[in-house]
Amino acid sequence: MGRIIGIDLGTTNSVVAVMEGGEPTVIPSAEGGRTIPSVVAFTKTGERLV
């Protein structure tokens, strides 16, 4: 069976969680935080940064 993943896309911050043992568990950022900034940017060459 696949995993259930929840994504809260906020206008300022976003959160991703997975269901483990019937309880939601937030997936931490690389820095250990529970939220990540909701940002999309484009470089001068048109490269998309998410």
- Write out the two tokens for 32: 């250990």
Answer for the pair 43, 49: CB distance below 8 angstroms, yes or no: yes
Answer for the pair 31, 19: CB distance below 8 angstroms, yes or no: no
Token pair 């993943």 is found at: 5
Q: What is the pLDDT of residues 2-44, one digit of tens each?
A: 889 999 999 999 999 999 999 999 999 999 999 998 988 999 9
Say what the pTM is: 0.67
Instruction: Tell me how far apart the alpha carbons of residues 45 and 43 are, in angstroms, rounded to a whole number.
Output: 5
